Chains A and B, each alone.
Chain A
Amino acid sequence: MSDHPKLAEKFASNTNRMKWHDKALWFVRQKRDIQAQSLPEWEALRDKADAIKTHTLANLDHYLSAFETNARKRDIEVHWARDAQEHNKIVLDILRRNGATKLVKSKSMLTEECHLNPFLEENGIDVVDTDLGERIVQLRHEPPSHIVLPAIHLKKEDVGTTFEKFLHTQKGNSDPTYLTHEARKHLREKFLGADAALTGVNFAISETGGIVVCTNEGNADLGASLPKLHIASMGIEKIIPRLKDLSVFTRLLARSATGQPITTYTSHYHSPQHEGEMHIIIVDNGRSQILGNKKYVKSLQCIRCGACLNTCPIYRRSGGYSYGYTIPGPIGSTLGASKAIQKNASLPFACSLCASCSNICPVKVDLHEQLYLHRQDVVDAGLLDKTKHRALKMATWVMKHPMIMDSGGKIARKLVPILPRNLLYSKFNVWGKNRELPPFPKQSFKELYKERKK
Chain B
Amino acid sequence: MKIGLFIPCFMNELYPEASMDTLKILESFGLDVDYPLEQTCCGQPMANTGCAHESAQLAKRFVEIFKHYDYIVAPSGSCVSMVRHHYAQFVSEMEGFEHVQKNTYELIEFIHDIIKPDHLNVSFPYKVGIHNSCHGHRELGLASMSECHAPAFSKIKDILDLVSDISFSTLERNDECCGFGGTFAVSEEAMSVAMGRARLEDHIKAGSEYITGVDMSCLMHMQGLIDRDKLPIKTIYIAQILAKGLA
Contacts and interface: CB of A to CB of B under 8 A. Distances in A.
Interface of A: 4-5, 8-9, 12-13, 18-19, 22, 26, 33, 36-37, 39-40, 42-43, 311, 313-314, 317-318, 348-356, 358-360, 372, 374-379, 384, 388-389, 392-393, 395-396, 398-400, 402, 405, 409, 412-413, 430-431, 433-438, 440-441, 443-450
B176 A33 contact: no
Interface in B176-193: 176-177, 179-193
A325 B141 CA distance: 33
B188 A314 contact: yes
* Chain A to chain B: the 5 pairs with minimum beta-carbon distance, closest first: A375-B50, A352-B181, A435-B224, A9-B190, A354-B177
Given A372-B86, A396-B46, A402-B40, 20 more contacts: A5-B188, A5-B190, A5-B191, A8-B188, A22-B198, A36-B148, A313-B191, A317-B198, A350-B188, A354-B138, A356-B138, A359-B138, A375-B48, A392-B54, A434-B228, A435-B193, A435-B227, A436-B224, A444-B16, A446-B12
Contact of A435 (B37, B190, B225): B225
A249 to B, nearest CB: 17
B52 to A, nearest CB: 5
A5 B138 CA distance: 25
B118 to A, nearest CB: 29
B54 A313 contact: no
Interface stretch (B17-25, B94-102, B107-115, B156-164): B17-25
Contact of A376 (B52, B61, B193): B52
Contacts of B15: 438, 441, 445
Contacts of B227: 435-436
B50 A384 contact: yes
Contacts of B124: none
B93 interface: no
Given A5-B189, A352-B179, A375 B149 contact: no
A392 B51 contact: yes
A377 to B, nearest CB: 7
Contact of B149 (A13, A42, A349, A448): A42
A352 B177 contact: yes
Interface in B31-45: 35, 37-41, 43, 45
B38 A313 contact: no
Contacts of B35: 446, 449
Contact of B49 (A9, A350, A375, A448): A375
Contacts of B7: 445-446
B12 A18 contact: no
A398 B10 CA distance: 13
A445 B20 contact: yes
Contact of A353 (B134, B223, B225): B134
B86 to A, nearest CB: 8
Contacts of B166: none
Most chain A beta-carbon contacts within 10 A, residue among B37, B57, B177, B227 = B177
B76 to A, nearest CB: 13
B150 A43 contact: yes
B195 A405 contact: no
B139 interface: yes
A39 B149 CA distance: 8
A313 B16 CA distance: 32
Most chain B beta-carbon contacts within 10 A, residue among A33, A349, A384 = A349
B16 A448 contact: yes
Given A36-B149, A392-B54, A405-B9, A317 B194 contact: yes
13 contacts: A5-B188, A37-B149, A313-B179, A349-B188, A356-B175, A358-B138, A388-B49, A392-B49, A396-B43, A396-B51, A399-B61, A435-B227, A450-B37
A233 to B, nearest CB: 31
B13 A409 contact: yes
A448 B24 CA distance: 12
A384 B146 contact: no
B9 A399 contact: yes
Given A355-B139, A375-B48, A448-B16, A438 B224 contact: yes
Contacts of A413: 13
Contacts of B40: 398-400, 402, 405
B193 A352 contact: no
A85 to B, nearest CB: 32
Contacts of A444: 12-13, 16
Nearest to B177: A354
B142 interface: no
Interface string B221-242: 1011101100000000000000
A360 B186 CA distance: 27
Nearest to B187: A349
